Amino acid sequence: MTESETGTPQEPQEGIAEALHDLSGHTAALARREVNSAIREIWDKARQGGPAAALLAASGVLTLFTAVSAYRLSLRLLEKRLSPAAAALVATGGYGAAAAAAGVLGYARLRQTPLPLPTETARETASAVAEADSTSDRVQRS
């Protein structure tokens, strides 16, 4: 039997149980910190992709305008003379060109944006684990 700091006898199993409890508490705190770090990194990378997503959304809206204009163009071609149809054709061409330009720009910008994965957190965690492993090897050798 060993004695605790209070001077009362303590069983060795109690000391081991307390150490395991402390270890599990530290492990849980470390896991929470790493998960929070990964979440922050994912959100930072997702915010970087926001402008590209906005351009792609604009491309989608302009594509919708293209479809509406094309519909109106077909109606005007069937119902009226060339003059109103020419106006609808110009609108369709304008919306289509703008949608294509926004889509190309959004795609190019999206390809330059890093993936929203926690690569920095994973790298830091790997180096911390490697450091802890080498420290435990040194402690075991001594």
pLDDT per residue as tens digits for the range 46-92: 788 888 888 889 999 999 998 888 877 766 665 655 677 676 776 67
pLDDT, tens only, 92-133: 777 789 899 999 999 999 888 877 777 777 788 778 777 777
Q: Where are the domains of the chain?
A: 9-126
- Where does the pLDDT of residue 1 fall: very low under 50, low under 70, confident under 90, or very high at 90 and above? very low
104 Cβ contact list (under 8 Å, min separation 6): none
Long-range contacts of range 39-48, CB-CB < 8 Å, 24 or more positions apart? 39/118, 41/118, 41/119, 41/120, 41/121, 42/116, 42/117, 42/118, 43/116, 45/113, 45/114, 45/115, 45/116, 45/117, 46/116, 48/113, 48/114
Instruction: State phi, psi for 2 to the nearest 5 degrees.
Output: -115, 165
